[in-house]
Structure 1
Amino acid sequence: MRRNIMCKGISLLLVIVMVLSGMIPAKSAEAATSSNIKIYNFIKILVSATELEIDKAQASPYMKAAMDAGIVKEVDFKDDEAYITRMDAAVLLNRADEYLHGDTVDGKLLKIVLEQRISDINKIPEGKRNAVAKIYTKGFIVGKSNGLYIQNRSFNGYDLLTTGDAKKLIALLKNTKGRAKMSPDGQLIRTTNLPKNAKDYPYILAAFPNSFYEMKFMYQWAESNYTRVEGKDYARPIKVNERMKIFETDKNGRCIYVDDWMKKVENNLKYRLNVDYRAIDNNWLNGLRNTYFLYDIASADKKTTDDIKEYMPYVKKNHIVIKSSVISVEPSTLYFDNAYRVRVYVKFKISFKGEKKPQDKLFFVQQFIRLKNISKDKWFEGVYDIELATANGNSNGSDYAVFDDSLNDYFYKGKW
């Protein structure tokens, strides 16, 4: 570990070469200001916060203490007078946090975050991705929003860190209550400006507006001549796990197949809202068919397949193209209403040959479709509750699939 290992002229040349070759964004070199913090100073503050023993007789006492504790490694930096990036800060913060508290991130959650929650994770060098994902999961650095209903965030790992932000982050090593709150599947939770019915949900996500949550559950629309009992006739998302005792469940009482349910709903919408008359084929047919539930009665199951087959020639004849830009299936909204339903947000547009056509012909749907104010070749948004069920009365949960695939704007009362 050496400081200012190269002369300024050579360093500048290397930066220019790296920027031009795409190794680092030009933004990193240009963004450095007096407010940014240098690597050595970041390490100094980090060592003090970690309360490591410092030998001031050493030439670089803070660096030596950090290396002895394993927080800094010999290969980490060529020049510790350079400004520190968010991803390098994440690497050091994670090591310091594990030094103090151990490795507390669940392996399954880490995998979800790496695969689904950080949109620009592939821009970060592979050796640093785990540390970045852990710091994200622990609520240290949660990046920037990618927009409403988007279930991942941008980390912007090459951005430089300011001294003020560095101090705030390092304070979170001890102040664990000050860290951002994350959902069990690695999404940022918000705790202010909550929907009126926030108590009905296990948590409220930062990426979803109040209107998404405040749309009534299906059981709230139906009239009844008797008093409904929660846990028997219905269950809000906060209570839905209590309905799952008949299934194979995890330690929290949640069916272990819920992730599979969510994937079937997501795939169902991906197939139905991504249609191209030039490419629709048996792979599309089989993919969509696999998202719907099975009666295990040949005639009933054949009907679903036949319905999809009947839709395909209509798509080709009318040059139908449906393209989605967002499909968000949110598992924390899962509730019970004689079956299980999960809330989704979709954004898509449709084009076709000729004039206006019936919606139940343009889109594949087995149940009901009513899209208000949808226009050809224009983006359209909707929030819907998709039902999951099975025909197997002794199901352990593994065979649940899409039953009611309705896209009905009658229920949504919010504002976009």
Structure 2
Amino acid sequence: MKKVLLASTAAFTIFSASALQVSSVYALEKESTTYTLLDASDKVKDSPTQLIEVVATFKDIKGHWAESSILTAIKQGIVSGYPDGLFYPDDKVTRAEFLKLTVGSLGFEVGTTNGGIWYGPYVGAAKANNLYNESDFPSSDWSKPMTRLEMVHVAVRAIGKTVASDKETMYIAVKNGLISGVGNGRLDPDGTTTRAQALTVIDRINKIRSGETLKVDAATLADAEKAMNAKTDFWGHVIRTTDLPNNAKNYPYILEEYPNEMYEMKPYQSIDTTSMQLSKNDIAYNYKSTLDLWKKTTEAYYGQILNVDYRTIDEKWATKAFSNANQSSRSMLAAMKRYVQYVKSNKIVITGNVVAEPSMVMLSKRFGEYYIRVKFEFTLKSFNKYEGVMFDPFMGDHSIKFKKGTRYEGYADIPLTTNANDLDLKVGGITSLFNFGSIVRVAK
């Protein structure tokens, strides 16, 4: 692959894709280099012939639902492709990447890094132009895949709208044609944002700012209005009261965004106290700040485990992952450092995401561990040997031998423990997405 120096704001490809390109959150801090099929430039913007030639090399654009928006972004010069001749429209976009795209598309002035992290000037420009508030994101991890809710917060501000809540943000986004539903019209606020979705929303932002009225998805608008007026939990997620799971009594409430399958999954074998029981008498469970911490820790740990790239990984990956694990497991840190070397030699690339649900926390009195249920997805994009491809003690024992390039999804219960006498719980030393009771399958 050819390394090229950044020539301008418009000449930066920021997306991760396959084993043939720089990907994963660790590449985001490398400001000075990128890997592109063709740097976006004024020549491309001004030459229809050259644009056609560039697009023709992207084998995965033609016929894609976002083809028009992708072409617009290429013509604008805010994004380019990859050396393997693919565009990867369905790869995820991080928070930093989406802000950079939006700021670049709207033409806002961007400062210099002055030796800092590459995305710093774009975050600064976004804040200066009222595209972003710190309260928009539950954590400041800019390498985290952007959720649809986080994306529409930025998009709604970009069209000059002011909102009072997350629910209103989703409603205004749908009402103005910025987004439509996913699968059966679902809003899916916690769903991740793909490259194609990001470019489509940015294209729509520009159209609205230029005075165009966009088509609105009536069914999704009705759902958004219903959600805006519905009863919600601490985090603004809609509580549903119909079509409940068979074991609804085990939970203080049932959320609209999760299927019954996630609630009805058989708990980890040592769990003996349900979420409903905890909601009645457990001090930790009834403090939002505590549950926020457990959610953040779990997602941060698996944000490392499910995002590795042999071209960029180093021991910082192990240190960051272990910082979210029970600190008594010193052998775990050593194992993680060995895994880093294995990732390099085995040419492993994994991308994925985890959402931990605070309302689905359970307890094992026997082992003194809380468990938080998670929804996850991952893709093994590159590896030479399958054995030990993921840092997970039970993956090799799973009935499925996971195929390269296939996206998988599922649910699991993750143990939370600490070696200190406090509620700053960490992911347990023996944790797995493939443990007893977990559900894993090819993504729908």
Counterparts of 1:153 and 1:330, CA distance in 2: 15
Residue matched to 2:249: 199
Residue matched to 1:136: 168
Matches within 5 A, 1:181-220: 181-218=231-268
Q: Is the counterpart of residue 124 in structure 1 residue 170 in structure 2?
A: no
Unaligned runs of 5+ in 2: 1-67, 70-132, 140-145, 175-179, 194-200
Report the TM-score, using the length of structure 2 for normalisation. 0.52
Counterparts of 1:254 and 1:241, CA distance in 2: 10
Deviation at 1:160, TM superposition (A): 6.5
Residue of structure 2 aligned with 1:294, choices 322, 327, 335: 327
Counterparts of 1:119 and 1:129, CA distance in 2: 14
1:12-33 deviation per Cα after TM superposition (whole angstroms, max 9, x unaligned): xxxxxxxxxxxxxx99xxxxxx
Residue of structure 2 aligned with 1:377, choices 405, 408, 431: 405
Residue matched to 2:274: 236
Amino acid paired to 1:234: D
Residue of structure 2 aligned with 1:346, choices 355, 373, 376: 376
Amino acid paired to 1:308: M
Residue of structure 1 aligned with 2:301, choices 237, 252, 268: 268
Amino acid paired to 1:151: D
Residue matched to 1:284: 317
Deviation at 1:382, TM superposition (A): 2.1
Cα distance change on mapping 1:390 and 1:243 into 2, 3 Å: farther
Contact 1:344 1:386 in 2 (8 A): yes
Q: Is the counterpart of residue 317 in structure 1 residue 349 in structure 2?
A: no
Residue matched to 1:89: none
Residue of structure 2 aligned with 1:331, choices 332, 352, 358: 358
Residue of structure 2 aligned with 1:357, choices 375, 386, 400: 386
Deviation at 1:242, TM superposition (A): 4.4
Deviation at 1:414, TM superposition (A): 8.7
Is the partner of 1:256 in helix, strand or coil?
Answer: helix
Residue of structure 2 aligned with 1:308, choices 321, 336, 339: 336
Contact 1:188 1:205 in 2 (8 A): yes
Counterparts of 1:212 and 1:182, CA distance in 2: 19
Counterparts of 2:214 and 2:159, CA distance in 1: 19
Contact 1:384 1:409 in 2 (8 A): yes
Counterparts of 1:208 and 1:372, CA distance in 2: 25
Is the partner of 2:354 in helix, strand or coil?
Answer: strand
Residue matched to 1:58: none
Deviation at 1:122, TM superposition (A): 1.2
Residue of structure 2 aligned with 1:405, choices 415, 431, 438: 431
1:127-178 deviation per Cα after TM superposition (whole angstroms, max 9, x unaligned): 95542536628x977955445876259999967799x99xx99xx9xxx999
Deviation at 1:270, TM superposition (A): 1.0
Report the TM-score, using the length of structure 1 for normalisation. 0.55
Counterparts of 1:202 and 1:407, CA distance in 2: 24
Return the index of the structure with the highest Cα Rg: 1
1:54-80 deviation per Cα after TM superposition (whole angstroms, max 9, x unaligned): xxxxxxxxxxxxxxxxxxxxxxxxxxx
Counterparts of 2:227 and 2:157, CA distance in 1: 30
Cα distance change on mapping 1:369 and 1:387 into 2, 3 Å: farther
Deviation at 1:186, TM superposition (A): 1.4
Deviation at 1:353, TM superposition (A): 4.0
Matches within 5 A, 1:42-121: 117-121=149-153
Unaligned runs of 5+ in 1: 1-25, 28-106, 223-232
Deviation at 1:310, TM superposition (A): 1.0
Counterparts of 1:328 and 1:266, CA distance in 2: 6
Percent of pairs with identical residues? 25
